[in-house]
Amino acid sequence: MKQKILITRPFFPDLVERLRASFDVTVNEGPKYTPEQFKEALKGQQGVLVAGGEKIDGPLLEGLSGLDIICVSAAGYNNVDVSAVTRAGIMVTNSPGPADETVADFAWGSLIAAARRLTEGEHFVQDGLWNGPNGHRFFGIDVYGKTMGIIGMGGIGRAMARRATGFRVKIMYHNRRRLAPEVEQECLATYATKDELLRGSDFVILALPYTPANHHIIGKEELQLMRSSAILVNIARGGLIDEPALAEALQQRRIAAAALDVFEGEPAVHPGLIGLPNVVLTPHIAGATWEAQHGLAAMAVDNLLAGLGHGPHAGRPPALLNPEVLKNP
């Protein structure tokens, strides 16, 4: 009898067929599960591929037996309580890497949109207000030749830094651990403390994972350190920014602008951010290309196959987050 696995959202057909060769696969083709429906659907499953950001925590796992692995089809996994999953003796994996270049492209696009006031300009045209020369009305900020501060120099941060060369943009970065000298050289990046970065950057980019330690890493105090001409970009995770403090800073022009693709309560957006002319808001789409999402999903499939004993990495998934659950870690 084949092992049973659950895919929580509609999925790439070619990858579903790849899984069907080894497993009895159930795909949720309907609306996103409620927590109660999700728990019921997990009963009897040996693996689950989380494709829609479903929350996985202790209460969900309580009373479940037989679940061996949880595979997240994304690099970020703040929807998963890894400690609770580990206590339950279940493997959990994510999919780091496949979307890094895609998200870096989007982050640069968002920065340019905020710096050059593209959203304001588009609304001006769409609303029929353009009736003559208006160049002075939409004076923006040059990107070329400025200083970018990247908080979080993982794959996305490094991809952003590599793109900076063409803009002659100087890179500062802050990271939990300093990069190796050869990586700093590759990225032409200089390490700085967080305060040094905030004071010295024209553009501040958040590219770090959300953890409790990183909650509101940008708050009122940090915003006050930033230049009045600075632009803040978040393509990482909601919860990294104190959104009421940011709304106030934007309203009072204590910083010039922001571009936000993620939000603390998404899909809800803090009302203070809605309607501001100096903010670019997008619905968590930085990684939304077919190539990136298929790559993330394919990595999740690799992890699932390995975790349930199939393929060249049988028994040890490539992107395992909690190796301590293995009998021979």
Q: Are residues 39 and 52 in the same domain?
A: yes
Structure tokens at 223: 């915003």
Residue ending a domain, among 264, 281, 298, is: 281
pLDDT tens digits, residue range 81-115?
A: 999 999 999 999 999 999 999 999 999 999 999 99
Q: Are residues 91 and 104 in the same domain?
A: no
Q: Are residues 253 and 117 in the same domain?
A: yes
Domain range for 211 is: 100-281
Query: In the β-sheet with 3-7, what is the strand arrangement from edge to edge?
Result: 23-27, 3-7, 47-50, 69-72, 91-93
Q: Are residues 175 and 73 in the same domain?
A: no
Closest Cα partner for 206 from 152, 279, 260?
152
Q: Are residues 84 and 133 in the same domain?
A: no
pLDDT tens digits, residue range 265-278?
A: 999 999 999 999 99
pLDDT tens digits, residue range 43-59?
A: 999 999 999 889 999 99
**Confidence at residue 134, expressed as pLDDT on a 0 to 100 scale:** 82
pLDDT tens digits, residue range 162-215?
A: 999 999 999 999 999 999 999 999 999 999 999 999 999 999 999 999 999 999
What does pLDDT average to over the chain?
A: 96
pLDDT tens digits, residue range 154-171?
A: 999 999 999 999 999 999
CATH number at residue 150: 3.40.50.720
Label residue 279 by pLDDT band (50, 70, 90): very high
Look up 116 and say whether it is catalytic. no
Catalytic residue among 162, 254, 266, 313: 266
Q: Are residues 249 and 303 in the same domain?
A: no
pLDDT tens digits, residue range 110-135?
A: 999 999 999 999 999 999 999 988 87
Catalytic residue among 117, 158, 174, 237: 237
Q: Are residues 37 and 62 in the same domain?
A: yes
Q: Are residues 38 and 79 in the same domain?
A: yes
Label residue 6 by pLDDT band (50, 70, 90): very high
Closest Cα partner for 8 from 35, 22, 18?
35
Catalytic residue among 162, 227, 284, 313: 284
**Confidence at residue 328, expressed as pLDDT on a 0 to 100 scale:** 63
Q: Are residues 58 and 152 in the same domain?
A: no
**Confidence at residue 329, expressed as pLDDT on a 0 to 100 scale:** 54
Average pLDDT (15-28) is: 97
Look up 215 and say whether it is catalytic. no
**Confidence at residue 327, expressed as pLDDT on a 0 to 100 scale:** 75
**Confidence at residue 44, expressed as pLDDT on a 0 to 100 scale:** 95
pLDDT tens digits, residue range 282-317?
A: 999 999 999 999 999 999 999 999 999 998 888 899
Look up 237 and say whether it is catalytic. yes
Q: Are residues 299 and 272 in the same domain?
A: no
Closest Cα partner for 69 from 17, 26, 7, 14?
7
Number of domains comprising the chain: 2
Q: Are residues 104 and 133 in the same domain?
A: yes
pTM of the model: 0.93
Q: Are residues 144 and 270 in the same domain?
A: yes
**Confidence at residue 311, expressed as pLDDT on a 0 to 100 scale:** 85
